[in-house]
Amino acid sequence: MLVERIWAANDLRNFHYLIACSQTGEALVVDPLDARLCLEAARAHGFTITQILNTHEHLDHTAGNADVVAATGAKVLAHAGAAGRIGGVDRGLARGDIVKVGRTVELETLDTPGHTRSHVCLLAHGDAPALFCGDTLFNAGAGNCHGGGDPGLLYETFVDQLARLPDATRVYPGHEYMARNLAFTLDREPGNTAAAQALAGARAHKPETARITTLGEEKRFNTFLRLANPEIIARLRDRFPEIGENPDARTVFVKLRELRNSW
C-alpha cells in the first residue's frame, strides 16, 4: 500500500490522502477538498484515481468530489447514512465492508460516529497498519461535535474501537492540528514529557512535513486517550467539581471535549 499525504495549505488545515496499489497504480483519494491538488499529485506519482472516499459529509471533505469524478470517472464511497447529504455516492458503506484498491490494498470500514452521526474510518491491516480517520481522531486530539455530532458517541468510538487497534497503527487524520492539540494536552497535563517533546518537534516542522504518529504515541500524548490519568482527572475536577472523586471515563472524555470547545 502506498500512501501520499497532500497538504491543502488552507485555513482549515486539511489533509487529503492518496492510497494506491503498488502493483497497478490504482488509487483511492480520501476526502478531496482541492481536486486540482489531488489530481496533480496522482499524475506526479503515476497513479490512476478510481475511487473517492468521503469520511463524512462536511463540505471540507467532499467539495472536490465533482471535479475529481469529472476528470477521472472515479466512484464515490461514503457512509450509507451520509450518502444522501453528500450526493452522487455510488457505494454506501457500513461497518465491516471491505474497500479494495487495485490488487494489493484492502481497507476495512469502521463505523465511527461522534464528529457526525455517520462517519467512517478506513483501516489497513497487515505489517504496517494504518487508520484514515477523518475528523474523528486527530494528532493529539479529537474531533469536535458542532456539526451534527455527539460527544458520548465519540467517546464510545474512541474506547470501543480506536483505542483497541494495534499500537503500531499509523494515524492519518483529516486536518493538521498537532501543535494546538499538544498545547491543550500540556494545559491539562503539564507533567506530560512526551507531549512537551512532541510539541517542540511539531513546532519545528511545516504542516506539509508534519510527522505521522502511531496510535501508541497517541496514547502517550493525546488527552482523549488518557482518560484514567490522575493529573488530568484532578485538574478537570478543579474546573468541574461536580464530577466527584472517581469520575467514569465517559464523563472525563465529555468534559475534556467541552473544555476544548472554548480553549
Residues in contact with Zn ion by CB under 5 A are 58, 60, 135, 174
Q: How far is the CB of 139 from Zn ion (least distance, A)?
A: 14
Question: Is the CB of 117 or the CB of 235 nearer to Zn ion?
Answer: 117
Q: Are 189 and 196 in contact (CB under 8 A)?
A: no
Amino acid at 240: F
Number of Cβ atoms within 10 Å of the Cβ of 26: 19
Distance of CA 208 to the CA centre of its chain: 16
Question: Is the CB of 31 or the CB of 218 nearer to Zn ion?
Answer: 31
Question: Is the CB of 21 or the CB of 78 nearer to Zn ion?
Answer: 78
Amino acid at 128: A
Q: What SS3 state is found at 5?
A: strand
Q: How far is the CB of 152 from Zn ion (least distance, A)?
A: 18
Count Cα neighbours of 60 within 13 Å in the Cβ-side half-sphere: 14
Q: How far is the CB of 31 from Zn ion (least distance, A)?
A: 8
Q: How far is the CB of 144 from Zn ion (least distance, A)?
A: 8
CA–CA gap between residue 35 and residue 248 (Å, rounded) = 43
Count of positions (residues) in the chain: 263
Distance of CA 223 to the CA centre of its chain: 15
CA–CA gap between residue 45 and residue 24 (Å, rounded) = 12
Which residue bears the cell 514529557?
Answer: 193
Q: How far is the CB of 115 from Zn ion (least distance, A)?
A: 6
Non-local (6+) Cβ contacts of 191 within 8 A are 231
Question: Is the CB of 18 or the CB of 154 nearer to Zn ion?
Answer: 154
Q: What SS3 state is found at 36?
A: helix
Q: How far is the CB of 147 from Zn ion (least distance, A)?
A: 6
Burial class (CB in 10 A: 0-12, 13-18, 19+), 85: middle
Q: How far is the CB of 125 from Zn ion (least distance, A)?
A: 25
Question: Is the CB of 135 or the CB of 189 nearer to Zn ion?
Answer: 135
Question: Is the CB of 177 or the CB of 253 nearer to Zn ion?
Answer: 177
Question: Is the CB of 157 or the CB of 192 nearer to Zn ion?
Answer: 157
